[in-house]
Copies of this chain bind each other. A is one copy, B any other.
Amino acid sequence: MKISSVNRKTEILETAAILFKKRGYSAVTMRDLATALGIKAASLYNHIDSKQQILSEIVLYLAREFTSGIKEIISKDQSNIEKLQSIIKQHVILTSSYMYEMAALNNDWMHLEEGLTEYLELRSEYENQFSLILQNGRESGELTYINEEVVLFSILSTLRNLYLWIPKKSELKQEDLVIALSETLLKGIVK
């Protein structure tokens, strides 16, 4: 790759993420991406190496953010319930900043080539950290549940789908969303 504008490359990644969210990685062509940026497809290669690299940079950046984030949360001196709330908050904040990129993280990771192994490791690591908080919460008597795996799966499903939903609810303030999510996920809805 030539030495080229970091900003233009960022523009390309952001525009790619928008298209990936709408149609998915495979359905977006380099010509689509170029058109969205007002240039020709060949010009993209002054800034990036390949289509695959675009996906890889988007997905791995976010995966690293989430995994390093949960590690920081787990190391803090908080109750396990507070740690769960911190996780929810992290998802709301990252999803608000990276709405389009989140779609690639959720739906297009399987099209990674070189980066696939690292992605899978980061995801495992994240789920292991999450699982630890649930276990500690039960052992300390803060939490009760029948099946830990069901709980982990359920909470993660909600948090990972936020990217589909936050854009439609821009009137809902971040802080209020965190509160409503915490209530729903932690306390349920039965009176």
**Residue numbers in B under 8 Å from A177 (CB-CB):** 150
Tell yes or no: A31 within 8 A of B by CB. no
**Residue numbers in B under 8 Å from A154 (CB-CB):** 158, 181, 184-185
State how many angstroms separate the Cβ of A177 from the closest Cβ of chain B. 7
Q: Quick check: which of A21-29, A52-60, A70-78 contacts chain B, the rest being far away? A: A21-29
State how many angstroms separate the Cβ of A153 from the closest Cβ of chain B. 5
Tell yes or no: A146 within 8 A of B by CB. yes
A157-191 vs B, CB cutoff 8 Å, 1 = contact: the mask equals 11011000100010010001101110111111111
**Residue numbers in B under 8 Å from A147 (CB-CB):** 172, 176, 180, 184
- Contact check: which of B153, B169, B191 meets A149 at CB < 8 Å? B169
Q: Is the interface of A mostly helix, strand, loop or mixed?
A: helix
Q: How far is the CA of A27 from the CA of B26 in the complex (A)?
A: 6
Q: How many copies does the complex hold?
A: 2
**Residue numbers in B under 8 Å from A27 (CB-CB):** 26, 111
**Residue numbers in B under 8 Å from A121 (CB-CB):** none
Q: Quick check: which of A1-9, A34-42, A94-102, A137-145 contacts chain B, the rest being far away? A: A137-145
Given A111-B27, A150-B177, A161-B153; A142-B190 close (CB under 8 Å): yes
Tell yes or no: A10 within 8 A of B by CB. no
Q: How far is the CA of A2 from the CA of B105 in the complex (A)?
A: 42
15 A-B pairs with CB atoms under 8 Å apart are A22-B110, A24-B107, A142-B190, A142-B191, A143-B190, A144-B190, A147-B184, A150-B184, A153-B158, A153-B161, A157-B161, A160-B161, A185-B188, A186-B190, A188-B189
Q: Which residues of A contact B (CB under 8 A)?
A: 22-27, 81, 107, 110-111, 134, 137, 141-147, 149-151, 153-154, 157-158, 160-161, 165, 169, 172, 176-177, 179-181, 183-191
